[in-house]
Amino acid sequence: CPAYERYAALPKAHLHVHLEAAMRPGTMREWCAEDGVEVPPLVDFPHFTGFLDAYGVLISLLHTPERLGRLLDEVVADAAAQGVVALEFASIPDKSAAFDSAEEALEFILPAASAAGRRHGVWTGAIVSIDRGAGPGHALEAAGLAARFAERGVVAVGLVADERGNPVADAAEAFAIAREAGLGVVPHAGELAGPEEVRSALDLGVDRIQHGVRAAEDPRVVAELAASGVCLDVCPSSNVILGVYPTLAEHPLPTLLDAGVRCSIGADDPLLFGVDVVDEYVLAHEQMGIPDAGLAGCARASIDSSFAPADLKRGAL
Ligand code: ADE
Ligand code: ZN
C-alpha cells in the first residue's frame, strides 16, 4: 500500500504503546498454544473490562525472561520497520509473571530494551505505568520504583486503566516523587473521562497526556492545551474500538490540530486493536482527512515531545 510506505518512511517517535500489547500476533498464538491458553479476543471489546481482561492474558504469557526478551526484540524490530526512531514503551513491571519483584523485572527489561534498540537502530525509553485501579500504595511504590531507575532507562511514569472513579489528581503525590527524580509524567487522561480530567492533568504540570482527546468537548481546555504546548499522544483506532467515538470520521484529532494542539500519533495496544503506528497515520489521512503536511507535523511533534536525547532529536528533526 503506497500510503503505508509513505508514512513508514516518515521519521517518528512512538510515544503511546503498551509493551505487552505490542506482541506480534504469531508470537501470541505460539505462546498460547505452548501454554494451553485460549487466544484472547482481539479488536472487539464491547466493555473496557473485556479489554483489560485480554490485556491480562498477554501479561500472563510473559512468564519467563526468555519470552520477555523476545517480546522486546520483536517490538523494537517492528518499530524500526515502521520508521520509529524513538520508542517510549509503557509497562507495569510489578505485574511481570517472569520475576518475583518489579525491581528484578526492570533490571531485566531496561538493558534488554537498550540492547534491542542498538541492534535495530531505535532509541528506547521506558514508561513505568501506575495502575489506577491498584490503590494509593501501588501508585507511590510504582513512582518510587521508577525513580530508582531514572538513570537506567526509565524516562517517565504513566497512569493507566479506567479513569472513571480514579481521577488523575489522585496520583499527585506519585507524580511529585517522579518529578523529584527528574522523570517525566505522562498520564492517560481525557479518554474515558471528560475534559475536566485534561484540565486537571494540566494543573498537575504533566509533560504529555496519553489520549487527552476529550479535551475537544471544552474549547477552553483546548485553548489551554494549545497554549501549554503539552503534547497529546493520540490513538484514533483505540478510541473507536473502546467506544470513545463511534467512527474515525467523528474523532477530534483534526479539530485539535487545527486549534494548535501538539499531537503525536500512537497505536496504544497494536495487537489488541489490530493496527500499528503507521496504520494510524494512514487512517488519519484516509478516514480523517488530515493532509500529509499535518501528519508530518505530528511526526515532528512526536520526536520533539519525546524524552529522547537532544542530539537524537536534532538529527531527526
Ligand atoms: N492500558 C492500555 N491501553 C489503555 C487505554 N487505552 N486506556 C487505559 N489504560 C490502558
Ligand atoms: Zn494507552
What is the ipTM metric for this complex? 0.96
**pTM (predicted TM-score):** 0.98
SS3 readout for the chain: CHHHHHHHCCCEEEEEEEHHHHCCHHHHHHHHHHHCCCCCCCCCCCCHHHHHHHHHHHHHHCCCHHHHHHHHHHHHHHHHHCCEEEEEEEECHHHCCCCCCHHHHHHHHHHHHHHHHHHHCCEEEEEEEEEHHHHHHHHHHHHHHHHHCCCCCEEEEEEECCCCCCCHHHHHHHHHHHHHCCCEEEEEECCCCCHHHHHHHHHCCCCEEEECHHHHHCHHHHHHHHHHCCEEEECHHHHHHCCCCCCHHHCCHHHHHHCCCCEEECCECHHHHCCCHHHHHHHHHHCCCCCHHHHHHHHHHHHHHCCCCHHHHHHHC
Atom of ligand 1 nearest to the CA of 18: 2
Q: What percent of the chain has pLDDT over 70?
A: 100
Looking at the CA of 266, which ligand is closest? Answer: 2
Atom of ligand 1 nearest to the CA of 160: 9
The 10s digit of each residue's pLDDT in 163-190 is: 999 999 999 999 999 999 999 999 999 9
Mean local confidence (pLDDT), 124-136 = 96
Using the structure block, give the residue that is written with the C-alpha cell 515502521: 82
Catalytic residue among 20, 191, 197, 224: 191
Mean local confidence (pLDDT), 233-258 = 98
> Is the CB of 272 inside a 6 Å radius of any atom of ligand 1?
no
pLDDT of residue 95: 83
Looking at the CA of 244, which ligand is closest? Answer: 1
Using the structure block, give the residue that is written with the C-alpha cell 509513505: 6
Nearest to 87 by CA among 44, 45, 119: 119
pLDDT of residue 94: 85
Residue of the nearest CA to atom 5 in ligand 1? 161
The 10s digit of each residue's pLDDT in 11-69 is: 999 999 999 999 999 999 999 999 999 999 999 999 999 999 999 999 999 999 999 99
Work out the mean pLDDT of the chain and round it to a whole number: 97
pLDDT of residue 40: 96
Q: Regarding the domain with residue range 2-305, which homologous superfamily does it belong to in the CATH classification? A: Metal-dependent hydrolases (3.20.20.140)
Give the pLDDT band of residue 107 (cuts 50, 70, 90): very high
Probe ligand 1: pick from 160, 210, 241, 272, max atoms within 8 Å of CB? 160
pLDDT of residue 317: 83
Q: Is 191 a catalytic residue?
A: yes
* 175 CA to centre of ligand 1 in angstroms: 18
